Chain A
Amino acid sequence: MPAVSKGDGMRGLAVFISDIRNCKSKEAEIKRINKELANIRSKFKGDKALDGYSKKKYVCKLLFIFLLGHDIDFGHMEAVNLLSSNKYTEKQIGYLFISVLVNSNSELIRLINNAIKNDLSSRNPTFMCLALHCIANVGSREMAEAFASEIPRILVAGDTMDSVKQSAALCLLRLYKTSPDLVLMGEWTSRVVHLLNDQHMGVVTAAISLITCLSQKNPDEFKTCVSLAVSRLSRIVSSASTDLQDYTYYFVPAPWLSCKLLRLLQCYPPPEDGAVKGRLVECLETILNKAQEPPKSKKVQHSNAKNAILFEAISLIIHYDSEPNLLVRACNQLGQFLQHRETNLRYLALESMCTLASSEFSHEAVKTHIETVINALKTERDVSVRQRAADLLYAMCDRSNAKQIVAEMLSYLETADYSIREEMVLKVAILAEKYAVDYSWYVDTILNLIRIAGDYVSEEVWYRVIQIVINRDDVQGYAAKTVFEALQAPACHENMVKVGGYILGEFGNLIAGDPRSSPLVQFNLLHSKFHLCSVPTRALLLSAYIKFINLFPETKATIQEVLRCDSQIRNSDVELQQRAVEYLKLSSIASTDVLATVLEEMPPFPERESSILAKLKKKKGPGAVSVPDLEDGKREGGELNGGGERGPDSAAMSASNASTPSPSADLLGMRSAAPMSAAPTSAGSLLVDVFSEAGPAAPSAAVNDDGFLSSAPPSEDPATLLSEADELLNKFVCKNNGVLFENQLLQIGIKSEYRQNLGRMYLFYGNKTSVQFASFTTTVSCPGELQSHILSILRATKPVEPVVEGGAQIQQVLNIECLTDFSEAPLLNIKFRYGGALQNLSLKLPVTINKFFQPTEMTSHDFFQRWKQLSQPQQEAQKIFKANHSMDTEVLKAKLLGLGTALLDDVDPNPENYVCAGVIQTKGQQVGCLLRLEPNGQAQMYRLTLRCSKDSVSLRLCELLAQQF
């Protein structure tokens, strides 16, 4: 038992507490407590009326028991009785019990409120304060109803004691927080604001918390507080350390009040009144200056109080974001703290710099500390500090330092604390995407993420990398190659298998030319992981397999065997079993056409905000994520790649699941209402339906039958074909996606897919200006003989919108069918009004004969046999030309694969040469083509030879290809 027992000791209470402390076990404690509860209960129920002291003592014991963590279900009434005692000591314990233990028992609340009402009107300041403390501690709605109108009166009355005013102010604040609708300042507003001028520092300190809260909610009504706050602050910061007597804390004048004043000012924009603003800037400068002065005391309390004000001042400077000079000074000051020996200061400096990084005035100044921050990430011993360092790196990241920061974050992830890994992963993923200039770096980064912290890579992250790879054709080959390599690791994370399965299923063909990653090798690699994976991953892999059957017919038998085995086709999991059964059936009964259509490459994802960013925001709470220049990020993100919430697996891969109409309708429905109830076997006729409307018999292939062309007389302003139209066309011989055309006003993006003799082209028209394009029309025409019977371009699924808003993009879909071989390109004419002026341009659509190539794998023997068969002179076309581009092997291979043919290895006796084989699919016939390209590195020359079963094709291909190398 302690020697000191101030006031009146309740001996019985002290003995009870000692007993509890002496209990050796939890059971003994409970036993002792139950004994005490029984005793108290009997006293309360007993016939003998208890005197006030006993009541107080027992109520206090109950309180103690409750605070130990036990439930108390009686004694409330006795406590309420104590409230009406006129002995201060009993009243005080009664109020304490109520404050700690009150529940919403309405009967009791009425009695409590009654007692409070009596004390409030007692004019005894100590009683009034007790009552106000009780209201502030309980703060219930019932109390707000009873007292919310009374307390403002007490607060501003001239004769109220200072201590009562202080309690009244904070009591009102608590009620306002619970029931803002009941606390109406109305006529009192101005007098409450003027409490900032009160002589008593304690009153100002208490009142400012109330005023700040009210200002946040009703800034206009309280805006007069700004000038009052500035002058109060100015008086404090310019006072000597002794002026404020007991309100000086370790040589710092009124630190709590100063912080509160600076906080209040953050509810408002910078003062408009020049004099007030000048005075405030002076205050802020003084605070920054004082931070540089030698400390007046070595005590940590002194520096804490001083720096508390400094940090609050910096918050205000950041809030104003209008004084470059102050912002940079703040940043320098924080920079000093980054290496301070006090961990607390390092932590706060990192945190505060995060917000400075988002100001254009101080972003660069923050960036100069990058090395210190990276060092903090590596060496700080406290995870909270490392977390702040990671946040700051994220906030200071921009194009100039993204690679460095992402690399550091990745290496930190290897040893990072489990608690922050997921967030780190999200941040790395966002930065990598946002600042990716070259997308192979992006792919590498994300795959590294999965390797290092696979468990923490959420679905959003791996969905996103797939969305980006699908939307960016320039990275697809690289992605396929990289995942293929990553999957070689003996133990790789399941997320890697998911990404790998998806990407190889879509783009495995891009690396299939290399025998080390031939279709079967790819399949075996994926399948070696299958048994270690969870059900959803297995389901994804099954979809990848069926895609393989389409991409590589030679894997069909192997894969069918896998699908057919019991562990698949009779799998206990319904989803796996269904996929196995359906894919097996699909692969055995559907024609290659149907298979190709059903298993078409994924269309690009719609452009949306990164789902990862959304996740990070959700994780951190709204407003808590300081994403550097968020707007910027959104714009760039939108431009570079699409995104969406749908998981690519469900949307894409199950497209082959013919029994579910929704996702596949989008892929298959060449015309809008393609009925998807059709079983896979009838899908052939579906295609016939689609094309029967506009077959060869429908020569009006142009996109002009909806009338908008007729309103713009074609003769009025004949568009001249762009001079670079042929160049643009050549750019797309070996690739299907990219930017077709761009000028000051308009950007035209293109994405196209071809299967057999069918093709589909997506055109994206982007308005680069901020002004809308009116009367926007597009026309596709096929000049000369192309128009009538060579190439048929079906009507766009939908005519384009006649208006393109500033910054907006619209999309148009063209369906193409190759009837017979052709050499001209269709023309695209675009007309629109931009600010009154008619714009008219024509360009060639990059539809070339090689788009209809199907690759043909063959052995050396077969190749030369066919080569000899195509020996008529007109079947061969040959050209010798100078290299226009790099003669790098990989580049050449990529181009030849992009051409659509199969690149054959080990055929030509000279390994330097390239040979390719393919069949061009037209509606009427198939044209076999063999190609041989012989580079001469020394002379920087090529010899290109083509032999095709149709002579016009040889000529055209030779012409096209000579421009490519």
Chain B
Amino acid sequence: MQFMLLFSRQGKLRLQKWYVPLSDKEKKKITRELVQTVLARKPKMCSFLEWRDLKVVYKRYASLYFCCAIEHQDNELITLEIIHRYVELLDKYFGSVCELDIIFNFEKAYFILDEFLLGGEPQETSKKTVLKAIEQADLLQEDKTKDAECPRSILEEIGLT
């Protein structure tokens, strides 16, 4: 896989993961072009399209589009299920995931993706194993944040800094 993009029906990019080196300019161009192309497609159309010299596989979940670019010899259907498994992981982690979860916890969405896919290839396809790894990290986090809790000022509490 070359990259994965998550964007809303309004075309707002929610997550981007690039597995090939590209300049920021190029990334923006690709994103703009692809978001436009995918949003223009009608609901019953097929989930695959040829785009430049890549194949694009996308699927819409509620208000979010998940869109992967794969190479010519890659398998479209299994990529569709990669998307689905990622959605399942997010859903399980956040508990009935919605777009807002991904907006406000974008870093978590990245961590989960890194556990599942690495370098564009599946690293661990077992849902249980991936979630266990993330939950373990959260546990570590919670332990550590307990002591960080104290120096927070009142201003910080209401989010002004």
Chain A positions near chain B (C-beta within 8 angstroms):
1-2, 4-8, 11-12, 14-17, 21, 39, 43, 51-53, 60, 63-64, 67, 69, 71, 87-90, 92-93, 96, 100, 126, 129, 132-133, 136-137, 139-140, 163, 166-167, 170-171, 173-174, 177-178, 201-202, 205-206, 209, 246-247, 249, 254-257, 259, 263, 266, 301, 304-305, 307-308, 311-312, 343-344, 346-348, 381-382, 384-385, 387, 621, 624
Contacts and interface: CB of A to CB of B under 8 A. Distances in A.
A202 B106 contact: no
Contacts of B77: 304-305, 307-308, 311, 344, 348
A561 to B, nearest CB: 54
B81 A304 contact: yes
A201 B125 CA distance: 9
Contacts of A382: 41-42, 44-46
Nearest to B12: A68
B119 A96 contact: no
Interface residues of B, number: 73
5 contacts: A7-B145, A14-B159, A206-B121, A304-B81, A344-B80
A7 B108 contact: yes
A599 B41 CA distance: 55
A133 B114 contact: yes
A129 B132 CA distance: 14
B94 A4 contact: yes
Given A89-B145, A304-B80, A5 B105 contact: yes
Contact of A301 (B15, B84, B133): B84
A387 B50 contact: yes
A651 to B, nearest CB: 34
B75 A171 contact: no
A624 B72 contact: yes
B89 to A, nearest CB: 12
B75 A308 contact: yes
A382 B43 CA distance: 10
A205 B122 contact: yes
Contact of B78 (A11, A14, A17, A305): A305
Given A88-B137, A263-B73, A67 B45 contact: no
Nearest to B48: A347
A14 B148 CA distance: 17
A6 B138 contact: yes
A8 B145 contact: yes
Most-contacted residue by chain A among B13, B84, B119, B136 (CB, 10 A): B119
Given A133-B114, A301-B84, A343 B46 contact: yes
A93 B123 contact: no
A208 to B, nearest CB: 9
A12 B106 contact: no
Given A6-B138, A92-B137, A249-B81, A17 B104 contact: yes
Contacts of A174: 19, 118-120
Given A344-B47, A384-B45, A311 B75 contact: yes
A133 B76 CA distance: 25
Given A205-B122, A304-B80, A343-B47, 5 more contacts: A2-B104, A11-B159, A96-B111, A343-B45, A348-B77
Contact of A93 (B98, B105, B107): B107
Contact of A51 (B110, B122, B151): B151
A246 B128 CA distance: 7
Interface in B120-161: 120-129, 133, 136-138, 140-142, 144-145, 148, 151-152, 156-161
B30 interface: no
Contact of B45 (A71, A93, A96, A381): A381
A6 B49 CA distance: 36
B36 interface: no
A344 B122 contact: no
Given A246-B129, A301-B84, A384-B45, A7 B138 contact: yes
Most-contacted residue by chain B among A93, A348, A384 (CB, 10 A): A384
A631 B73 CA distance: 24
B148 A5 contact: no
Interface string B71-109: 011011110111011000000011100101101111110
Contact of B123 (A167, A257, A344, A381): A167
Nearest to B45: A382
B104 A166 contact: no
B9 interface: no
The prevalent SS among residues of A at the interface is helix
A346 B46 CA distance: 9
B20 to A, nearest CB: 8
Interface of B: 13, 15-16, 19, 21, 24, 28, 41-42, 44-50, 53, 72-73, 75-78, 80-82, 84-85, 93-95, 98, 100-101, 103-108, 110-111, 114, 118-129, 133, 136-138, 140-142, 144-145, 148, 151-152, 156-161
Contacts of A133: 114, 118
A792 to B, nearest CB: 61
Contact of A39 (B75, B124, B152, B161): B161
A348 B106 contact: no
Contacts of B81: 249, 255-256, 301, 304-305, 308
B123 A170 contact: yes
Contacts of A51: 148, 151
Contacts of A8: 141-142, 145, 148
Contacts of A307: 77
Nearest to B55: A351
Contact of A259 (B78, B111, B140, B152): B78
Contacts of B72: 624
Given A12-B161, A347-B48, A88 B144 contact: yes
Given A6-B138, A96-B111, A209-B122, A384 B49 contact: yes
Contacts of B121: 170, 173, 206, 209
B140 A2 contact: no
Nearest to A304: B77
Most-contacted residue by chain A among B41, B50, B93, B114 (CB, 10 A): B114
A133 B123 CA distance: 11
Contacts of B123: 166-167, 170, 202, 205-206
A246 B126 contact: yes
Contacts of B44: 343, 381-382
Given A89-B140, A92-B111, A178-B21, A53 B80 contact: no
Nearest to B79: A308
B145 A256 contact: no
A387 B55 CA distance: 14
Contacts of A52: 148
B108 A11 contact: no
A640 to B, nearest CB: 32
B100 to A, nearest CB: 5
Contacts of B157: 11
A347 B46 contact: yes
Contacts of A11: 156-157, 159
Nearest to B146: A8
A55 to B, nearest CB: 11
The 7 closest A-B pairs by CB, nearest first: A15-B159, A308-B77, A174-B119, A209-B121, A8-B145, A308-B78, A170-B118
Nearest to A306: B77
B125 A202 contact: yes
Given A7-B142, A53-B145, A69-B28, A344 B76 contact: yes
Nearest to A88: B140
Contacts of A126: 136-137, 140
Nearest to B126: A246
B144 A89 contact: yes
Given A206-B118, A384-B50, A247 B125 contact: yes
Contacts of A12: 156, 159-161
Contacts of B47: 343-344
B159 A16 contact: yes
Given A88-B141, A89-B144, A96-B111, A202 B124 contact: yes
Contact of A2 (B101, B118, B151, B161): B101
A4 B95 contact: yes
